[in-house]
């Protein structure tokens, strides 16, 4: 049969940002997907070379506007490593709590948009957005901003958590636990959802390793790697973190991994509050024009972001990064799209794309 | 680990056989007098990371492709050639990864000229 070539995007409601796909079809089956990226490229890696160390966190947050705090923290952490600054213990717990809250918010947004991509289900989108907003309110309490927080400072946080933060958070977590169970109950009984998720977009564990995918996509294919477990940072070692993975590598497995991660994050937050030292402060260094001199020329560190592993590689200069290389999780997960989509139906392309949980700002940098 | 460019593909092959089956990232740093390409590999089972650093002379910027060992290298290699002007040999030529521009004056090199208007390349 003749091959039909169709163009999707750059502006399309289901591409979650500006992404262009050129799809070659044989009837209804996908033969090849050509991915065009770069519409949101802002040259962040070059830009940070021209800014002082603590001028850049705001740029980092704009990379992944769904989970800004995670990028902020990863960047500040690599600067701390280069400058040889220790993070206060209480601040470590606070950072873990905020990062896990951010993960819940990010996964909830994913859940809503994923169901939208499958059609007919604006209900879940409305629910998860409402719930996500409760988490955003907590982050706002802690940082003062609703969306872009910029409250991670060298050695700690911008300020102490508010006095009633713990009580408020635990209350929201109780609610969130009930809601997650509800999501599972409603969604997994929905025949439309299940038909389009189970057995669609399968990625074997061998291919997952070979293509280098990361985060929930990697774990859904049965490869157990989570930076929080395999290369723990902060206090994750003290918390009883259990990694979530699935075997089949289809859309449904990726959904399951994320749902289980929400539950695990809720548990981690509770445990972290329980173990957080009552005394001590968490205030970091205020932003000054001059920062301390770097002690490490080359620093490298990994963080488990909601979308997968982010690796920051920094060559330090006095006052400014000489070079910052960011391994963005969405970038490499999107690179795997053409492999996963091959041989699938065109209608499933957006189900697969949605299940990879991409943020185009993070892809293009 | 610093290695020569000539040994890169054989070293990568050997490491893949020894359990380093995951490519984390390929990146580069321009040190003005030379460019360093960095290959970060990981042994997922043992949880070990290893970096291979290849030093390249400014007037001789090319590296062999490692696509044969890791398919995930595709976009990283294209990024490398676009952002650093490093030629990747031994793989099929693809269009630029980011959209339409002529590819001259690679942006992540230190001698990058700021503020130059680029002409969009016709497809």
Residue B24 lies in a domain: yes
**What 3-state class would DSSP assign to B89?**
strand
A203 pLDDT exceeds 80?
A: yes
Task: Give the distance from residue A160's alpha carbon to the nearest chain B alpha carbon, in angstroms.
Answer: 35
State the greatest distance between any 2 C-alpha atoms of chain B, in Å, as a whole number: 48
Q: Which residue has the higher pLDDT, B78 or B101?
A: B78
**What 3-state class would DSSP assign to B111?**
coil
Q: Which of B22, B30, B51 sits opposite A212 (nearest CB)?
A: B22
User: What's the whole-number mean pLDDT along residues A286-303?
Assistant: 86
Q: Which of B70, B73, B97 sits opposite A38 (nearest CB)?
A: B97
Locate B78 and state its tokens. 């294209």
**Which domain range does residue B40 map to?**
2-89
User: What's the whole-number mean pLDDT along residues A32-37?
Assistant: 88
The enclosing domain of A265 has a CATH number of 1.10.645.10
Indicate yes or no: CB of A311 within 8 angstroms of CB of B25: yes
In this predicted complex, what is the ipTM?
0.86
The enclosing domain of B23 has a CATH number of 3.30.460.80
pLDDT tens per residue across span B19-49: 898 999 999 999 989 999 999 999 988 888 8
Indicate yes or no: CB of A37 within 8 angstroms of CB of B97: yes
Tell me whether strands B2-3 and B48-57 are parallel, antiparallel or unpaired: parallel
Q: Please state, rounded to an integer, the average pLDDT across all residues of chain A.
A: 88
A36 pLDDT exceeds 70?
A: yes
B121 pLDDT exceeds 60?
A: no
The burial of A162, by beta-carbon neighbours within 10 Å (0-12 exposed, 13-18 middle, 19 or more buried), is given as exposed
User: What's the whole-number mean pLDDT along residues A222-234?
Assistant: 88
DSSP A283: B
Residue B112 lies in a domain: no
Locate A308 and state its tokens. 């997968």
pLDDT tens per residue across span B65-99: 898 888 888 889 888 888 888 888 888 766 667 75
A84 pLDDT exceeds 60?
A: yes
Q: Please state, rounded to an integer, the average pLDDT across all residues of chain B.
A: 83
Q: What is the count of structural domains for chain A? A: 1
**Which domain range does residue A88 map to?**
3-364
User: What's the whole-number mean pLDDT along residues B52-64?
Assistant: 89
At residue B85, φ and ψ (nearest 5 deg) are 65, 25
Indicate yes or no: CB of B25 within 8 angstroms of CB of A313: yes
Tell whether A261 is within 8 A of chain B (Cβ).
no
Residues of B in contact with A204 (CB under 8 A): none
Which pLDDT does position A42 carry in this prediction?
85
**How far, in Å, are A95, A99, A131, A176, A204 from residue A127 at the CA level?**
27, 22, 6, 11, 32
- The pLDDT-based confidence of A131 (bands split at 50, 70, 90) is very high
Which strand (E) or helix (H) includes residue A101? Answer: helix A89-117
Residue B7 lies in a domain: yes
The pTM of the full predicted model, rounded to 2 decimals, is 0.90
Which pLDDT does position A79 carry in this prediction?
92
Q: What is the count of structural domains for chain B? A: 1
């Amino acid at each position: 049969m003749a091959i039909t070539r169709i163009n999707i995007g750059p502006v399309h409601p289901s591409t979650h940002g500006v992404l262009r796909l050129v799809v070659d079809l044989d009837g209804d089956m996908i033969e090849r997907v050509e991915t065009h990226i770069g519409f949101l490229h802002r040259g962040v890696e070059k830009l940070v070379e021209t800014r002082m160390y603590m001028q850049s966190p705001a740029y980092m947050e704009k990379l992944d506007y769904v989970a800004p705090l995670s990028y902020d923290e990863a960047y500040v952490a690599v600067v701390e490593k280069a400058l040889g600054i220790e993070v206060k213990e209480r601040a470590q717990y606070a950072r873990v709590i905020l990062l896990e809250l951010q993960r819940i918010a990010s996964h909830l947004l994913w859940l809503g948009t994923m169901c939208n991509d499958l059609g007919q289900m604006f209900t879940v989108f409305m629910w998860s957005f409402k719930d996500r907003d409760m988490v955003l309110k907590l982050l706002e309490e802690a940082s003062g901003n609703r969306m872009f927080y910029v409250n991670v400072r060298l050695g700690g946080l911008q300020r102490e958590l508010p006095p009633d933060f713990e009580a408020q958070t635990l209350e929201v977590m109780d609610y969130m636990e009930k809601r997650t169970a509800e999501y599972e109950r409603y969604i997994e009984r929905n025949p439309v959802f299940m038909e389009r998720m189970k057995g669609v977009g399968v990625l074997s564990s061998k291919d997952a390793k070979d293509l280098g995918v990361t985060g929930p996509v990697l774990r859904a294919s049965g490869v157990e790697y989570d930076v929080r477990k395999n290369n723990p940072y902060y206090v994750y070692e003290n918390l009883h973190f259990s990694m979530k993975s699935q075997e089949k590598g289809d859309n449904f497995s990726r959904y399951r991994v994320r749902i289980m991660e929400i539950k695990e994050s809720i548990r981690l937050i509770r445990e972290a509050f329980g173990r957080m030292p009552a005394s001590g402060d968490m205030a970091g260094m205020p932003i000054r024009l001059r920062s301390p001199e770097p002690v490490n020329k080359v620093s490298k560190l990994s963080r488990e972001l909601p979308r997968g592993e982010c690796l920051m590689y920094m060559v330090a200069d006095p006052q400014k990064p000489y070079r910052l290389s960011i391994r963005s999780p969405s970038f490499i997960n999107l690179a795997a799209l053409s492999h996963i989509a091959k041989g699938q139906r065109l209608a499933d392309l957006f189900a697969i794309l949605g299940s990879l949980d991409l943020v185009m700002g993070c892809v293009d940098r | 680990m610093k290695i020569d460019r000539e040994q890169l593909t054989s070293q990568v092959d050997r490491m893949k056989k020894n359990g380093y089956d995951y490519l984390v990232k390929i990146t580069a740093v321009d040190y003005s007098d030379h460019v360093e390409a960095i290959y970060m590999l990981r042994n997922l089972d043992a949880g070990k990371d290893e970096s291979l650093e290849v030093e390249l002379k400014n007037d001789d910027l090319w590296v062999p492709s490692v696509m044969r060992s890791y398919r995930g290298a595709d976009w990283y290699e294209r990024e490398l050639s676009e952002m650093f002007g490093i030629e990747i040999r031994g793989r099929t030529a693809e269009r630029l990864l980011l959209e339409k521009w002529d590819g001259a004056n690679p942006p992540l090199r230190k001698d990058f000229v700021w503020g130059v208007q680029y002409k969009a390349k016709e497809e």
